[in-house]
Chains A and B, each alone.
Chain A
Amino acid sequence: MRLYLAVFALLAAVHCEELFSGSWKRTWKSGLDFWTHGFSTERPVDIRVPQSSLYAVKDFLKKNNIPFTVMINDVQDLLDKEKAEMVGNAKMERNTKSFNFAAYHDLETLYSFMDTLVASHPNLISKVHIGNSYENRPMYALKFSTGGVSRPAIWVDAGIHSREWVTQASAAWIANKIASDYGVDPSVTSVLGQMDIYLMIVTNPDGYVFTHTNNRMWRKTRSVNSGSSCRGADPNRNWDAGFGGPGASKDPCSESYHGPFANSEVEVKNVVDFITGHGNFKSFISMHSYSQLLMYPYGYTCTDVPDKSELHSVGTAAIEELTSLYNTRYQVGSICKIIYQASGGSIDWTYNIGIKYSFAFELRDTGFYGFLLPANQIIPTAEETWLGLKYIMQYVRNHPY
């Protein structure tokens, strides 16, 4: 396909009409490709010139005092690059379309899915590296943004407890859904018109890998605890909100071990630093499983938060949207009252630093499969959860503060 090896497109200012009525076209009958027509003496003309005629054309123009500039040095090169990009894009689109959302994937596959998604929506999504895990794995959040500088933002995380596999799997589906719904769904489009969304699909990568390689029921991080053969702290007891209080254990071997001090777990510290550094988050939503609950703060105390009324009604409305799809029953309430008193939780900290719309989901099911939810329930879970999430996001957008 190398018909035109090096082609110069020339811009020729037309001085004499006669050139174009006669001699020009007569002298080079074939090869010259006029990209603009409708000449007048005032307007420039664009010509694509095949390599073989290049010097002759330049010579002619110089001899006749017709000024020209080279717009594109090598049209073929441009065409080749464009074709390669199109082929690459089509492949990536096939890859995101061929990513099996109805299956559980290992960390590497999820990370490669993120890259594919970003590459196929470069104007909407970017990958933010917020730091590394204890075992030095990167922690990535997907940033959905239509522009602006540090717009008010919504945070969603999944998999802070690694055994809760339906959360990471649902987050992948939701990431793809936001990408494909932007510009199509009025609700998503309006949220992204004013706000950014940050979605962290795997918040505890070390734990996630461990659930694949060693122990499917692993919950915590994988940090080494000095003086103990037990590893890991509960990343949702490690936040600086009532830290070390009731509902967390000081035993490193416990599943709810709070860690030696608040933010001791690098995974937690990375998120804390990111949130405080950004400074403009308006909502923080954390996904867990199982129990089918939507909860708001506090966990560390059963005292109602000042915004309890509003949070309860937002949660109730969000759950109505969720239930409308498959009739999945959810309950709404504060963490402390609905499940248990638990100190050092993420949404307590975020609420206390002023992120009013802080929520935690417990996804499917209610105990039949528990953590081991079959893969054929991933997409229905993600679909219904998305409706609840979307409601909250829309509400947050409509209630700036």
Chain B
Amino acid sequence: MASTGDLEPTHYPARRAATVALHYLNTHHGSPFRVFGLQQVHKASAEDVAAGGRKYKLDFSVTDWASGSEGPALRCSADVLFPQTERHSGPEVQLRCEALQQINRTAQEEHAFYQRYISPDSAVSARDIPDSYGNVSEEMQPFWRLARVAASFIMLRESSERTEFNMAQVASVAQQGSSEEQLMLEFVVLLHDFPSQEIIQWKLLASWSPDRGVRVLQTEWQPRCPHATKPPN
């Protein structure tokens, strides 16, 4: 059912490709104080590519979720290439967003956050963010956003034309000993894939500092128990 040529921007093929571009954006520009969400796809088209696979051209807007619904929309354009499925490699993205560099108001908060948790005896640990009722404590907000940025690496890598990922919940966060002046955090995240409606669990180890940004060092898919009770620790 692959569409070619101009795509209806409100339909799912365009939106799935834009979501991939969004994950890419978050891996590059997300932080504990900045996470982007897709606002709207304006224009989209797709074509088959000579080496196999399909390439989407997108014109879309994002907003910074961290600044609430009042936040200004950022206009972006992207090329998203889904390689031939047999190759089983993630999509390739080229992305341009206007005025990205101008958004640097969060530098102060980032440094304060970093200073607070880089100390050797810091050992943050928490479960279920948000909780069942959608609550996220003030203290956990930056960890929630960090988890989403780190999860974006996985979501980007795992994406295809048949997936549409979102992070549903942070099952757990456990701070590890800092290394090379990086905050080290082990997350277990629950990803929600829209087309299949599955909840997929991943454990990952991520590092962060204001200078180096988010890096994902290890990822491990976690099988779900068939009786599907709470995820294993």
Contacts and interface: CB of A to CB of B under 8 A. Distances in A.
B196 A255 contact: yes
Interface in B19-67: 37-40, 65
Interface in A330-352: 331-333, 337-341
B173 to A, nearest CB: 16
Contact of A231 (B37, B134, B169, B227): B227
Given A256-B197, A337-B8, A375-B134, A370 B168 contact: yes
A228 interface: yes
Contact of B198 (A104, A255, A332, A337): A255
Nearest to A293: B10
A217 B166 CA distance: 14
A304 B40 CA distance: 24
A226 interface: no
Contact of A367 (B37, B40, B199): B37
Contacts of A374: 130, 133-135
Given A215-B228, A374-B133, A367 B196 contact: no
B134 A234 contact: no
Interface residues of A, number: 43
Given A231-B227, A369-B130, A372-B169, A339 B194 contact: yes
Given A219-B197, A340-B194, A370 B166 contact: yes
A372 B130 contact: yes
In this complex, the interface size class of chain B, counting residues with CB under 8 Å from chain A, is: 20 to 34
A77 B187 CA distance: 68
A230 B38 contact: no
Nearest to A252: B226
Interface in B115-171: 130-135, 166-169
A377 B133 CA distance: 11
Interface string B70-85: 0000000000000000
A291 B192 CA distance: 12
A116 to B, nearest CB: 23
Contacts of B132: 104, 211-212, 216, 372
A374 B144 CA distance: 15
A229 B230 CA distance: 16
A218 B231 CA distance: 12
B232 interface: no
B229 interface: yes
A211 B199 CA distance: 14
A329 interface: yes
A234 B65 CA distance: 31
Contact of B190 (A104, A217, A229, A373): A217
Given A229-B227, A230-B228, 15 more contacts: A212-B132, A217-B199, A219-B197, A229-B226, A234-B197, A329-B39, A338-B11, A367-B38, A368-B65, A369-B134, A370-B168, A372-B132, A372-B168, A372-B169, A374-B134
20 contacts: A104-B133, A211-B132, A215-B228, A215-B229, A218-B228, A229-B226, A229-B227, A230-B228, A254-B198, A256-B197, A333-B11, A367-B38, A368-B37, A370-B167, A370-B168, A370-B192, A372-B130, A372-B133, A372-B134, A373-B134
Interface of A: 103-104, 211-212, 214-219, 228-231, 234, 249, 253-256, 291, 302, 327, 329, 331-333, 337-341, 366-375, 377
